[in-house]
Amino acid sequence: MLLTKRLSLYFIGLFICITSSAQIDRSQIPLGFSLTDAELTTLPFQSYPLPADISAVSSEKHGAYPRMGTCVPADIDIVANAVKTQVGGSVCFLFKMKIAGAKGLVPYFDRFRLSQGSVIHVYSSDKTEWIGAFTSANNTDNGFNALGLFIGEEMIIEYVPGENASFDELHLNEIGVAQQFVPSKRRSTPEFGSSQNCEVNVNCPEGDNWRNQQRAVARILVKTGSEFGWCSGTMINNTGNDCTPFLLTADHCGIKSNGGYASNNDFNQWTFYFNYESTDCSNPNSDSALVDDFLVGSSRIAYSQDQGGDKGSDFLLVKLKQRPDSLYNTFYAGWNAENIAPDSGIGIHHPSADIKKISTFTTPASSTTWGGTVNNTHWKVTWRQTASGWGITEEGSSGSAIFNPQQQIVGTLTGGNSYCNTPTAPDDYGKFSYHWNSNGSTLQKQLQPWLDSLGTGLTQMDGREKCITGIPNAIVPFRNSDIVFQLYPNPTQGKCYIQSNAKIQHVFVYDLTGKLVGEGEHSGQYAFDYLTSGVYTIRVIAVGKTYIQKLIVAK
């Protein structure tokens, strides 16, 4: 997948050692990419029936997360069911599955263990979709795992064994079958994906004062039993200021449609997507230029246990299994636990699982209740129109935060009635002040014991930058938002386009050792026929600035 991050020249030199600790190692190319499309298309595959229509469990925007699909039970040993394939001098195992009519597939494992050197990739027969590589760095403590949402009805799981492959386990116990709320790969309509067309992209001018908070927001692929769907959440700081990977979302994001909560194993399979956003204010025509930064696994720390706000403020605090990689450029948002109505602010979220959006309010929030049984648990917020649109919330925005003028979290979204055709209808956010210690007397019903585990007594906290460990004096990469810069297709088989809204002065191509292997002087199409398969760094000089992206050549 395309990385749209600006890296320092110093960071290029550290690329190889840093990616070894990344959630997904994109420096490794699938062996199957050396096979022709025809060879991959004709691979034998296992077919599974499309499950019953899930519209009956799909929520409206009233305190329930939108179900995108259901899980088909499976009992698949990937290696035993795969086709053993010789590619050059190496051996890989290719397992192909198909569920006709599915819009997307999610491989869920109950036994996932890779030894050092073993690798997993997921991709399509035409090589246009690709997720990976997964390595031993992706192992979980209990074997439950997921490989993220794969768009399409058919996918290939490639397993390359390492030297200690006898210790590997790859058992697929469920296949998530998505039937709605799947981001479209290409659209000709004005909006991108499935959100409404009045939404405002986070990199529009409305987000200029909120760039840090923007980096804290994640799209969450939640799983509750046999159902899965979308919510939004926010990485959050604590008084230890130590980058503990806490993420705040809504209690109702962990509730099954027939009642009951997600299990510990479910939380181990929650998937968190970072930086899924347009690079500027316009909607892209394709998501091929969007990043695919995600990590899998969390544990539930505290939750309001109020059935989604019916008897409380509807909060859920999870701890990610690992800290987001330094490349993800994550910010840990600040918060305010005082019961003070914000007189203005914003919300940042992923409506209908779409790219990141921003909503703005300029009239004071008012105190309200969601379920009607406990008073003053929520803030009622009314959005306003801005220059770029009229940001509202939708299904999938649930759990996202609102920020006060001091850029602190003061609430999390339960639900409401704002739509493009009713933009002034209010939305209700569970109060952070109520989350703090008012949902109950036990530690599991409060935020305070976890966000202030030091017992400082602080009731507000500023956000902090991401943490980088083990890299002395590292220069932190950051994302640029002041220029449109696209490199596509990526991966490429030999030709690609480099386009920018600023004049490109020079293009340099480096291999992973930092050696200059090519250069050019214009935007438009570039031929990289001279490059062998591998990962390269493209450095572009435009209007006095340097922009760097990774290019994958797969011939």
Known catalytic residues are 252, 314, 398
Q: How many CB atoms lie within 10 A of CB 203?
A: 24
What sign for the dihedral angle of Cα 444, 447, 453, 459? negative
Assigned token pair, 502: 């600023």
Cβ-in-10-Å burial (0-12, 13-18, 19+) of 464 comes to: middle
CA atoms within 13 A of residue 158's CA, in its CB half-sphere: 28
- Distance (Å, whole) CA 485 – CA 548: 10
* Short-list 504, 485, 498, CA closest to 543: 504
As a whole number of angstroms, the distance between CA 151 and CA 73 comes to 19
- 3-state class of 251 per DSSP? helix
Helix (H) or strand (E) holding 431: strand 427-431
| Pair 488, 496: CB distance under 8 Å | yes
Instruction: Report whether 246 contacts 300 (CB < 8 A).
Output: no
H/E segment holding residue 450: helix 448-451
Q: What are phi and psi of 386, to 5 degrees?
A: -125, 180
Q: How far is the C-alpha of 143 from the C-alpha of 397, rounded, in Å?
A: 30
Residues near 168 by beta carbon (within 8 Å), at least 6 away in sequence:
79, 113, 114, 115, 118, 159, 161, 162
CB 302 within 8 A of CB 325: no
Decide: 155 and 122 in contact? Cβ < 8 Å.
yes
Structure tokens of 508? 């340099």
Look-up of token digits 């572009």 = 540
Residue 156: burial class (beta carbons within 10 Å; 0-12, 13-18, 19+): buried
Residue among 255, 249, 261, 247 at smallest CA distance from 313: 249
Phi, psi of 27 (to 5 degrees): -75, -15
Q: Which residue from 308, 318, 314, 340 is spatially nearest to 245, judged by alpha carbons?
A: 318
d(CA 64, CA 224): 12
Beta bridge partners, 550, equal 537
Exposed/middle/buried for 267, CB within 10 Å: 0-12, 13-18, 19+?
A: buried
**Does residue 133 have a cis bond before it (omega within 30 degrees)?**
yes
Which amino acid, residue 498?
I
Task: Report the distance separating Cα 524 and Cα 440, nearest Å.
Answer: 60
